[in-house]
Every structure is written in structure tokens, then in C-alpha cells.
Amino acid sequence: MSGNWVEVCGKDEIDEEDVIRFDHDGRTFAVYRSPDDKFFATDGLCTHEHIHLADGLVMDEIIECPKHNGRFNYKTGEAKGAPVCVNLKIYPVKIEDGAVFISL
């Protein structure tokens, strides 16, 4: 179910194959731009130890947590092996007028 669309940033403020942190209403999200120029959003904290994923490394469709190298597929939210075992929530993303919006 989609809720409110919230503007995150201009689309060019996220580099290709990169991630930024977005804080809104007391919550933290991670917003990604894939190597094939698509945008995705997940919860911003690793499910293993509440570390900001936006400090981590994006490789293809994987975000790797900066602390303990837990990996998730940022397109699906799926945990990809130890030490993480709980998936990330994902959120719909749209681009309008050159800006990135996520649906909360």
C-alpha cells in the first residue's frame, strides 16, 4: 500500500551505483541509484545492528553494510547472508520533474 509521496532530492544528487541517507519524520531511509539508472529505497538502518546503510558500498544491486559487511539486495530488500538474516523494507520510488520521491 502506498502512502504519502515525499520528495527526497534531485535525481542527480545521487551518483550512479550509489546511495544516500534520507531522514524524514523521525525515520531513516536509504535511497539508491542503480548502475542502470533506476532508483530504489529501503529502510536506512541495517537489520543486524542499526548502522546507517548509506555509509555502505553499493555494488550492482547489493548494498553492503559498512560495519559488519552484511549484504542486502536493495531492489528486493532481501538479506543475502550472515550476519544479517532479517530483510529490509522497501518503498516505491518515482521520479518527477528531475526529483526523487519515495512513498511512505
Partner 1 sequence: MAHFVILGAGECGARAAFALREKGFDDEITLVGAEPLHPYERPPLSKAGSADASGPKFIAAVEKYAENGIRLLTGLEARDLDTASKSVTLSDGTSLSYDKLLLATGAAARSFPGAPEGSSHIRSLRTHHDAAALRNVMKPGKHIAIIGGGFIGLELAATARRLGAEVTVIEGLERVLKRGVPEEIAHLLTERHRAEGVDIRCGVSITALTEESGKAVIRLSGGEVIEADLALVGIGARPNIEIAESAGLTIENGIAVDTYLQTSAPDVFAAGDCCSFPLPIYGGRRVRLESWRNAQEQGTLAAANMLGLDEAVSSVPWFWSDQYDMTLQISGLADDAATHQRRDLGAGAFILFHLDADGRLIAASGVGPGNAVARDIRLAEMLIAARAHPDPAALAASDIKLKSLLAA
- The size of the interface with partner 1 (CB under 8 A), counted in residues, is 15
CA-based Rg of the chain, rounded to a whole angstrom? 13
9: β partners: 100
Q: Kindly state the cell numbers that stand for 72.
A: 542486502
* Segment near partner 1 (CB under 8 A); pick from 21-29, 33-41, 60-68, 89-97: 60-68
Residue 21 as a binder of partner 1 (CB under 8 A): the answer is no
Picking from 56, 59, 16, the residue whose alpha carbon sits closest to that of residue 39 is 16
Q: Looking at 66, 78, 80, 92, which residue binds partner 1 (CB under 8 A)?
A: 66
- On whether the CB atoms of residues 26 and 33 are closer than 8 A, the answer is no
- Tell me how far, at minimum, the Cβ of 11 lies from partner 1, in Å: 19
Q: For binding to partner 1 (CB under 8 A), which residues are involved?
A: 17, 49, 51-52, 55-57, 64, 66-69, 82-83, 85
